[in-house]
Structure 1
Amino acid sequence: MKKQLSDYNAYTLADLINDEAFILWVLQPDETTNTYWQNIQKAYPTLNPSIVSAREIVLSMRFETDSLSAPEQQQLWQNIAAKTVLVKKTGKIIPMWYRYAAAAVVVGILCCIGILYSVNQKVNIETPYGELKNITLPDGSIVTLNANSNIKYDKNWDKDEIREVWISGEAFLKVNHLHKTGKIQKHERFIVHTGAVNVEVLGTSFNVNDRRGRTEVALLDGKISLGLNADAAKQLILAPGDIAEYANGKLIKKPINVVEYASWKDGKLYFRNVPMAKIFDYFEDIYGYKVVVDDPKILEKRLSGALSAKNRDVLFKAIGLTLNISITPKEDSRELVVTSK
């Protein structure tokens, strides 16, 4: 709730810096707050020099808004307001130098907090249904994030620490190879955390898929080792052409055509005698539709071939023509209606 105009009669620079309404006006002005503070300046012209100085102090810390989201900014101000009391309303007159010193302390606290947020902040990237995104990590590694997927990593990577990312959904990674010779250093290690599996690499290209309680890791080139969160001692080594699958508490390895497996990043889908039930699961994960079939036998049909996935409607039509079925997306109900022709 905003204060009455009379509350600002004895306001000082320190009071303004500690006033949440003033800070929000400076950082996020709108028509209402502009009118409110214009009235204050008209009512108390002697307060104008302090308002100008306080604005400069708050705006000098504007760099924080580039790295903090709106909820984070609000929480930050709330924390500061809860822990910082500059002036207590008593009958004593507090020397002006003390008030300015207190204001300087607050500015220092804000700067330190802003720096800590900037250094320790995590990057969190999500892709919507039907969209891919290419991401360059701090070390130059490239990640292609599939639709309906998420990646998290530290904004700043310490040169003396392990490179780590957290992935849910599906992603293709091409890791920057840092190790050259000798013993592997800590910063040369690269670990992907996905589901219950940890994937460690030095420099390689591989695909991770973590959906529906099943985690798959397919290796194109290089070498990776897989371990479980629950049993880090057990390691599974993959060679190019291997895929590791974790489901129901078991981690197994088998050969696969990984080029076709990871072709989604290039806008292509390869199917080799794949049941439509599994393909429809993929469509639900990628496009966000609930599949509804008029005949359960459609789920038993199998599909083989290479199809372009760059256009969703063209993809649905191609599959429909191949299997003599109709695939119709219903936007209002977010259903994919599949019927026999």
Structure 2
Amino acid sequence: MDLNKYASFSLKDFLEDDDFVNSIINTSKEDSLFFAEMLLHYPEKKEDIETAESLIHNYRKQDTFLNEDRQAEVWKRIEAEARPVKQAKVFSLLKLMRVAAAVLVVGLGAFTFWYNQQQNFSTTFGEIKTVVMPDGTTVLLNGNSSLSYQRGFGKNPREVWLKGEGLFKVIHLNKNPANIKPAERFIVHCNDLNIEVLGTTFNVNNRHNKINVGLITGKIKVTANNVKKAAPSLILAPGDYVEYATKKVVLKGKLAHPERLANWSKRQFVFANEKLKNILKTLEDTYGYQIKYTNAAAMDMEIEGEINVTGVKELLETISASLHVSIYQNENQIIIN
């Protein structure tokens, strides 16, 4: 097997890869050494590999068949396909799923486990990734962010969980606002804040125990899960901006240019009358830079007017020229003098 081909594999990719599935069913010493080497190169794949292996074994142990004779017959055929014979077609997990689905009659079993398993997506510092949901909704994840949802997404309310920052473009399913079906609801969970929408575009930033929600188009409802008492919901219209912290809304305003909430997706930095510490905090959160100040007073220096630049280098040059400070960059460390 080619080690390089697994560099960008997700859980779904492992489950659909003939070589991988066959190696799990017919594990050899060479396979064990290969996977050990893979984990050395791609330690972040460990969870996906272990989950895929568990799923494959669960299917092979499935005991909810019509009868024992039928079960033995099916698995005998599956195992025959899985054996590496000359010119034989390699075993496919998807084929196994089709066979299993045809003979399963009762129980949650392994298929339910697979169907309801959580889907996870994440980005590294400085990375931007597009996630397309099963209903066609797209989520653009900013650097150092994560998104998850259940594999059975869409059968029940469409629910996702976000950490970090994401730009949502939600597909509208409801035709009758007076009768919203469960599967037509779309809910974003951020810690103890829920954001419910029908079809809209909005930006969510969930970092440092603060959640910022800005609406670009459409309408959303923001509700806090206060353990002491039910918190009132807020209905946001385009341009509304909410900051939520310590179980309460601490800021609600109107954005003059709500479309600028999406500027980060183009790797643009846009700030207006902002303090230096808040500007550079963005570089820490999404790009992984370490910021150091030789003079703590510099943190509260404010740039008057608007900054609209593309790229970290241009941002630092603009800050230096505007505030008359010296900025030194050493790999991922930025020092402000």
User: What displacement does 1:208 show?
Assistant: 0.5
| One-letter code aligned to 1:305 | E
The aligned counterpart of 2:288 is 288
- Amino acid paired to 1:273: N
CA spacing shift, 1:307–1:328, aligned 2, 3 Å: farther
Cα deviation per residue 1:123-156 (whole Å; 9 max; x = unaligned)? Answer: 2111111111122111111111111111001234
Partner of 2:270: 270
Larger deviation: 113-122 or 202-211?
113-122
Q: Residues of 1 paired with 2:333 and 2:78: CA distance?
A: 54
Is the alpha carbon distance of 1:275 and 1:158 closer, same or farther for their aligned partners in structure 2, counting shifts above 3 Å?
A: closer
1:265 and 1:77 map into 2 onto residues whose CA distance is: 37
C-alpha contact 1:289 1:329 (8 A) present in aligned 2: no
What is the 5 A alignment of 1:184-223?
A: 184-223=180-219
Shift of 1:207: 0.7
Change (3 A) 1:126 1:32: closer
Unaligned runs of at least 5 residues, structure 2? 1-21, 35-46, 64-68, 80-95
Read off the aligned partner of 2:297 and give its amino acid letter: K
Question: Could you say which residue in structure 1 is the equivalent of 2:144?
Answer: 148
Deviations 1:65-123 (A, max 9, x none): xxx82122455688899999xxxxxxxxxxxx9xx679659979995765334312222
Look up the match of 2:16: none
Match of 1:228 among 216, 221, 224: 224
Structure 2 residue corresponding to 1:162, chosen from 154, 157, 163:
157
Specify the alignment match of 2:335 in structure 1: 337
Separation in 2 of the partners of 1:77 and 1:220?
43
Return the alpha-carbon distance in structure 2 between the equivalents of residues 305 and 33 of structure 1: 56
1:1-341 alignment runs, 5 A limit: 24=24, 26-27=26-27, 30=30, 69-75=48-54, 115-159=111-155, 161-181=156-176, 182-230=178-226, 234-252=232-250, 253-257=252-256, 258-303=258-303, 304-309=305-310, 311-331=311-331, 334-339=332-337
Cα distance between partner residues in 2 of 1:200 and 1:106: 45
Q: Distance in 1 between matches of 2:163 and 2:321?
A: 33
Cα distance in 2, alignment partners of residues 280 and 126 from structure 1: 22
Quote the Cα distance in structure 2 between the aligned partners of 1:326 and 1:301: 13
Aligned-residue Cα RMSD (Å) equals 3.5
Q: Structure 1 27/176 Cα, relative in aligned 2: closer, same or farther at 3 Å?
A: farther
Aligned residue-pair number: 269
Q: CA deviation at 1:220?
A: 1.1
Distance 1:74 1:317, change over 3 A: same
Q: Which amino acid aligns with 2:50?
A: P
2:225–2:231 Cα contact (<8 Å) kept: no
Following superposition, the deviation at residue 279 of structure 1 comes to 1.2
Equivalent in the alignment of 2:92: none
User: Deviation of residue 209 (structure 1)?
Assistant: 0.7
Tell me whether 251-260 or 185-194 shows the greater mean CA deviation.
251-260
C-alpha separation in 2, matches of 1:27 and 1:153: 32
**Amino acid of the residue matched to residue 335 of structure 1?**
Q
User: AA paired with 2:180?
Assistant: I
Residue pair 1:283, 1:289 contacting (<8 A) in 2 also: yes
Structure 1: tracts of 5 or more residues without a match: 1-21, 35-67, 85-96
Q: Distance in 1 between matches of 2:127 and 2:296?
A: 29
Question: Structure 1 residues 216, 30: closer, same or farther in 2, change over 3 A?
Answer: same
Q: Percent identity?
A: 31
In our comparison, the structure showing a higher alpha carbon Rg is 1
The two structures have a TM-score, normalised by structure 2, of: 0.68
What is the alpha-carbon distance in structure 2 between the residues aligned to residue 157 and residue 102 of structure 1?
30
What secondary structure sits across from 2:175 in the alignment?
coil
**1:296-318, Cα deviation, whole Å (9 max, x unpaired):** 22212212323233x32232223
How far apart, in 1, do the equivalents of 2:181 and 2:148 lie?
23
